[in-house]
Structure 1
Amino acid sequence: MATVRFNAHGRTWDVEVPVGTSVLGAAKQVEAPEGDACGGVCGCSTCHVYVLKGRELLSEAEEDEEDIMDKAFDVRANSRLGCQARIEKDGVLEVEITRESLDAYYNEHPQAVDPRKTR
């Protein structure tokens, strides 16, 4: 099992998942606000996250993912698409949900309260 910690707007979500789970799949299990406008099929960049810890636990990025990342905002060396980043080893993974992903999530879930707008 792997532990995934999601960080976004000062809050954390922790979840234990089996090896083989995608980062996006883990986010859905704890309702962390990670976007997935394409449904998690590598057709957009709304599940863009920054891997803060545990990058070595993840599958390598493939060409399809790298092509989509070219369309993402504020791409960094530790950027991954949550739908494509699969956990391959037990351990602790920590990711920050990007602004792009948060924007997509709250657009996709209008019933969810966006804490960035309540301040």
Structure 2
Amino acid sequence: MKDLINIYVEQEDGERITLEAPTDMGLSVMEVLKANEFDVQALCGGMAICATCHVEVLQNEEELPEMSDDEAYMLETLPHATANSRLSCQLRVTPALEGLVVRIMPEAH
């Protein structure tokens, strides 16, 4: 099993920044974004109650785990939510997320 996967963060200009994420530490995508100094507030610390880690999944959405009721409820309250919106704190880094592409949404700033 591979210990690192690549996650991509698409910028407003379309540029994609590659992040390496360990799959053996139980990290969330939100924690990987913060560790790489992306401007994600994550005020609730990963409890799915603030939506300040909102991302839009642009690629590999079919590999994501099913959304919890709490996550779905929070996303319903967001003005910029899309069909592919997720809370990055609820996405655990696993080998299945290799190649995941996300865009950090306005609520996360």
Same fold, TM-score > 0.5, yes or no? yes
- Cα deviation for residue 73 of structure 1 reads 2.0
**Partner residue, 1:72:** 78
The CA distance in 1 between the partners of 2:62 and 2:82, in whole Å, is 16
Cα deviation, residue 22, structure 1: 1.5
Is the 1:48–1:100 Cα contact (8 Å) retained in structure 2?
A: yes
Are 1:7 and 2:10 matched, yes or no?
A: yes
CA displacement at 1:12 relative to structure 2: 4.1
CA distance in 2, matches of 1:34, 1:82: 10
Q: Distance in 2 between matches of 1:13 and 1:69?
A: 25
Question: Residue in 1 aligned with 2:67?
Answer: 61
> Hey, which bits of structure 1, 4+ residues long, moved more than 4 A?
none
Q: CA RMSD in A?
A: 1.8
**Amino-acid identity (%):** 33
| Aligned equivalents of 1:87, 1:17: Cα separation in 2 | 7
Instruction: Structure 2: give runs of 5+ residues left out of the alignment.
Output: none
Distance in 1, Cα, partners of 2:62 & 2:35: 22
How high is the TM-score relative to the length of structure 2? 0.80
Deviations 1:16-56 (Å, cap 9, x if unpaired)? Answer: 11334311011012111222121221111111110001113
SS in 2 for 1:86: coil
Moved more, 31-40 or 46-55: 31-40
Q: Alpha-carbon deviation of 1:61?
A: 0.8
Question: Is contact 2:7-2:97 (8 Å) kept?
Answer: no
> What's 1:98 paired with?
105
TM-score, normalised via structure 1 length: 0.74
| Residues 4 and 92 in structure 1, CA contact (< 8 A), matched pair in contact too | yes
Distance across 2 between alignment mates of 1:15 and 1:26: 8
Rate the CA distance shift 1:5–1:86 in 2: closer, same or farther, 3 A: same
Q: 1:58·1:86 contact (CA, 8 Å) conserved in 2?
A: no
CA distance in 2, matches of 1:86, 1:13: 19
